[in-house]
Structure 1
Amino acid sequence: MSPRLTLINRDYTRLWFGQAVSSVGDAVFNTTLVLWVATVLAKDQSWAPVAVSGIVMASSVAVLGIGPLAGVFVDRWDKRATMLRSEALRGVLVAVLTALTFLPAGALPTGAWLALVYVTVLLLNAAGQFFSPARFAVLADLVTGDADRARAAGIAQATGETAWIIGPPLAAPLLFTAGLQWALLLNGLSYAVSYLAIRSIRATGTPSGAVRPAAAPRERTGVRREFMDGLRFFAGSRFLVALLLLAVIGQFGVGALGTLNIFFATDNLHADARLYGYLGMAMGAGGIAGALAGGRVVQWLGARRATWISLLVSGVLLVAYSRQTGFLGGVALLFVFTVPLTLLNTAMSPLLLAAAPPDYRGRVMAVFYPVTRLASMLSAVLSGWLAGSVLRGMGGSVAGFRFGPVDTIIAVSGLVVLLAGFFAMAALPGTPDDREAAEDVADPPAPHDPTAPLDAPPPPDAPAPIDSPSKTRPLAR
């Protein structure tokens, strides 16, 4: 009998395969949307950067508006069924958008096309807010033990970065040769593959897959009370507040790149729009390198020291990227820039976990992740507005270096990341044992009635505090 490839166990392998295929579809879909909006719908328009930033804003609105409460409802539902319904809904949404793109180009005004894109991205992300916590709960059932869960987290991060090596280079040829419809259809098919993979997973039979039996009025009271306790706990922890502040500052720095990188590639790097996908590919490769090296670097430097060093290095490299004028140099700088950025996410995750007791980790993430996404949304909108209006037409040179609106905003973004690094250096001094991160944590409030519903169990792989920049990912997985 020939050996079969198995990652951790059979069911996890099937879940991983479905998500790997779907991640590639997401990368193609997102890159296609950015290219289509920037080079077709808003071609040569002053408001093109604002139009692209709308994709980020639509995804962030879903995360901010639905994310904090979605986990409460997922807690009451069957997790596997929730994942299946989410994938089916997202597949239908992409299919509807794909069908509409078969209409003649002038059938709808530009504003209507943009509205369709934004609404689709918003609804896809809204469904994703239910899919992600359900997937985390299913993973907790499928993968047990700290060692295997660590492996699962590493596999997930490496798979996501690999998807961004494969997906973006596929998106541009599909868009400009085969047409928009086929690039969108690829993502719709990826949802079908994910759906079938989830269907093939055996039911776990654990409490996490069961519907919560408590009465609705009692649940609403308990959820509200527990959520407010989480907010008070977060605000009372100086260490958590410091982590949130540096993540917000850092997100303001890297967030602009997601909106402006397509314009930087065509204007400053003098590259054809068809080559844009290779910038995402370079960042995916840098993300894999950072993921592979992250554990060893954190073990060597400590999580706190690795955090501020990664921010400082990322800031310097982002400023250096803003001065590039050749495509190959830009690709190389983006690859190098993504390595410390991925190390940063690896370093911050254990700090967050150490700073929050197990009973509060879900609520800590319910505060941390939406706030950082809000910073990302504001950064995307602000950078698009500055490039398309206030700084439009700006040009000049200083000491032989030429400056335009897009490269200036990216350079300032690098300085903002540097600022976050210096703040982290002061707020997170290196210690021999990074478990001391929990020293400044406030004592948790007294527990409530044990019959009150609790939040979802902490996920085996915590979300990254700072998004990878040029990979504007509207699809939450």
Structure 2
Amino acid sequence: MRARLTLINRDYTRLWFGQAVSSVGDAVFGTTLVLWVATVLAKDEPWAPVAVSGILMASSAAVLVIGPLAGVFVDRWDKRATMLRTEWFRAGLVAVLTAVTLLPLDALPAGVWLAVIYTTVLLLNTAGQFFNPARFAVLADLVKGEADRARAAGIGQATGQTAWIIGPPLAAPLLFAAGLQWALLFNGLTYVVSYVAIRSIDIRTPGRSERASARRRGLLPEFVDGLRFFAGSRFLVALLVLTVIGQFGVGALSTLNVFFTTDNLHADAGLYGYLGMAMGVGGIIGALCGGRVVQWFGARRATWAGLLVSGVLLVAYSRQTGFLGGLVLLFVFTVPLTVLNTAMSPLLLAAAPAEYRGRVMAVFYPVTKLASMLSAVLSGWLAGSLLRDAGGSFGGLRFGPVDLVFAAAGLIVVLAGVYAWFALPASEEAQGAAKGEDESAEGAAGSRRTESEDVEVAAHRDDDQVTG
């Protein structure tokens, strides 16, 4: 009996392999920069925390500023070529940074070193704003069917979680034993591996008439068209609202869980890392199970059920007073939360027609990122100021500021599950709409018109979809 060497299909397996290697490289790269800035460049300096936070700010700026406009170009360009170019660009950028770091540390002022690092991180993440929507569009072409798309999303999430389990432990030895340059070079080589994997994928490229249609429209009109389409889709708006609400639960945990560990679970701060490990393992299990759950219950039912279950578990976690109970509940909480994220992926793919996929993700990614940032800031502000003196007991249960924030976030997630129950249309309807779009596109591509007629028809079709 031959071993199964493919995941879903051959081309998806190649795409997954390239991204798996690249994800490990990204984890090593990000961890290496944080360690180098904190322990070498800004060692014993009072401004070290600010310097490290600048790395996160640079990556977030690319998502929030470049992301919304990148989708317009992704919808215009050949998706496979876009991914290939971004991988070459990122490999070259890391190679330049590697060459710069060959200079002695005192060759440049600390401010110049930080400027070089921040600029590199900004440009790498800018390229990612083109790569990610292009990959989303390619994934829709490579994987068909709700269950397989959920499996692909689950495999992708599990791979990302695993990369962040493998990457950081590799970063420290590479940095302190081999040197900064080797850690950076490792990341650059992973982009090359990703390039080779993507190049081996057989993807149908758009016809000449489709590219001509895209070129004759301006950047701003196409961007506005994308916003109109998104705002006019009840399905997409509902998915975005659910994702934003879900971020409040995760944001509260990422900001306050360390304080919950010491104050509520009465555990030593050194045990905090085990809670993160529990979430990582739960995320991997939930991602791998997500495809099967969607196959059994459907993506729509898995979405609202995942919200309800994870919200209830977050409320239960907020009432824990022992480390072991908290560890188990946090693991269990992460499983349905990840299944929820996996279930939403095929719904999003089904709701986004091929000509709008780049712009749909250019709205979805930045808004989700902004919600994550705001939820972290809001939860910290609530626990540190508005609810700082909140406390007491009710019915024999004691309450404090951090567990109140967790409980409120859990209740909000439960309400989001109720909203999803009624707001999300049946996934079969979304699939039918997507299938109709695909058939329409294939019919247009197969008909024998002149190039000028193709451009005119494509332009009218775009206008009809926006106004409709």
Both structures adopt the same fold (TM-score exceeding 0.5): yes
**Could you say which residue in structure 2 is the equivalent of 1:219?**
217
Q: Secondary structure at the match of 1:6?
A: coil
**Could you say which residue in structure 1 is the equivalent of 2:444?**
none
Confirm whether residue 293 of structure 1 aligns to residue 289 of structure 2: yes
**Could you say which residue in structure 2 is the equivalent of 1:372?**
368
**Could you say which residue in structure 2 is the equivalent of 1:115?**
115
Q: Secondary structure at the match of 2:459?
A: coil
Is 1:249–1:420's contact at 8 Å kept on the other side of the alignment?
yes
Q: Which amino acid is the alignment partner of residue 289 of structure 2?
A: A
Q: Which amino acid is the alignment partner of residue 76 of structure 2?
A: R
Query: Which piece of structure 1 moves more, 262-271 or 140-149?
Result: 262-271
Instruction: Report deviation, 1:123.
Output: 0.8
**Could you say which residue in structure 2 is the equivalent of 1:451?**
458
Instruction: Report deviation, 1:395.
Output: 11
* Residues 125, 331 of structure 1: alpha-carbon distance in 2 compared, 3 angstrom cutoff: farther
Q: Which has the higher helix share?
A: 2
**Could you say which residue in structure 2 is the equivalent of 1:445?**
none
Instruction: Report deviation, 1:90.
Output: 0.8
**Could you say which residue in structure 1 is the equivalent of 2:466?**
none
Identity %: 67
* Residues 244, 413 of structure 1: alpha-carbon distance in 2 compared, 3 angstrom cutoff: farther
Is 2:290–2:342's contact at 8 Å kept on the other side of the alignment?
yes
* Residues 357, 97 of structure 1: alpha-carbon distance in 2 compared, 3 angstrom cutoff: closer
* Residues 142, 254 of structure 1: alpha-carbon distance in 2 compared, 3 angstrom cutoff: closer
Q: Secondary structure at the match of 2:458?
A: coil
Q: Distance in 1 between matches of 2:382 and 2:54?
A: 14
Q: Which amino acid is the alignment partner of residue 367 of structure 1?
A: V
Kindly name which structure, 1 or 2, has the bigger radius of gyration based on alpha carbons: 2
Is 1:256–1:383's contact at 8 Å kept on the other side of the alignment?
yes
Show CA shifts across 1:44-83 (max 9, x none).
Answer: 7776655444333322221222222323323333433322
Q: Secondary structure at the match of 2:212?
A: coil
* Residues 228, 369 of structure 1: alpha-carbon distance in 2 compared, 3 angstrom cutoff: same
Instruction: Report deviation, 1:341.
Output: 2.4
**Could you say which residue in structure 2 is the equivalent of 1:309?**
308
Q: Distance in 2 between matches of 1:396 and 1:402?
A: 8
**Could you say which residue in structure 2 is the equivalent of 1:421?**
413
Q: Distance in 2 between matches of 1:198 and 1:105?
A: 37
Show CA shifts across 1:299-321 (max 9, x none).
Answer: 45923531432441463376479
TM-score scaled by length of structure 1: 0.70
| RMSD (CA atoms) | 4.7
Is 1:258–1:380's contact at 8 Å kept on the other side of the alignment?
yes
Query: Which piece of structure 1 moves more, 7-16 or 185-194?
Result: 7-16
Is 1:295–1:346's contact at 8 Å kept on the other side of the alignment?
yes
Q: Secondary structure at the match of 1:420?
A: helix
Show CA shifts across 1:405-454 (max 9, x none).
Answer: xxx67x5663453243143144234699844997xx9xxxxxx9742298
Superposed counterparts of 1:67-466, under 5 Å: 67-143=67-143, 148-199=148-199, 201=200, 203-204=202-203, 206-208=204-206, 212-214=210-212, 218-220=216-218, 224-225=220-221, 227-236=223-232, 240-255=236-251, 269-271=268-270, 282-297=278-293, 299-300=296-297, 302-313=301-312, 315-316=314-315, 319=318, 335-349=331-345, 352=348, 363-379=359-375, 414-415=406-407, 417-429=409-421, 434-435=426-427, 450-452=457-459
* Residues 28, 384 of structure 1: alpha-carbon distance in 2 compared, 3 angstrom cutoff: farther
Q: What stretches of structure 1 of length at least 5 have no aligned partner?
A: 442-447, 456-477
Q: Which amino acid is the alignment partner of residue 451 of structure 1?
A: A
Q: What stretches of structure 2 of length at least 5 have no aligned partner?
A: 434-454, 463-468
Instruction: Report deviation, 1:104.
Output: 4.2
Instruction: Report deviation, 1:342.
Output: 0.7
* Residues 120, 258 of structure 1: alpha-carbon distance in 2 compared, 3 angstrom cutoff: farther
Is 2:306–2:336's contact at 8 Å kept on the other side of the alignment?
no
* Residues 96, 385 of structure 1: alpha-carbon distance in 2 compared, 3 angstrom cutoff: farther
Show CA shifts across 1:357-391 (max 9, x none).
Answer: 7776654443332211122234456778999xx87
TM-score scaled by length of structure 2: 0.71
Show CA shifts across 1:68-104 (max 9, x none).
Answer: 2323323333433322221111112222333444444
Q: Which amino acid is the alignment partner of residue 29 of structure 2?
A: F
Is 1:252–1:413's contact at 8 Å kept on the other side of the alignment?
no
Q: Distance in 2 between matches of 1:36 and 1:412?
A: 37
Q: Secondary structure at the match of 1:95?
A: helix
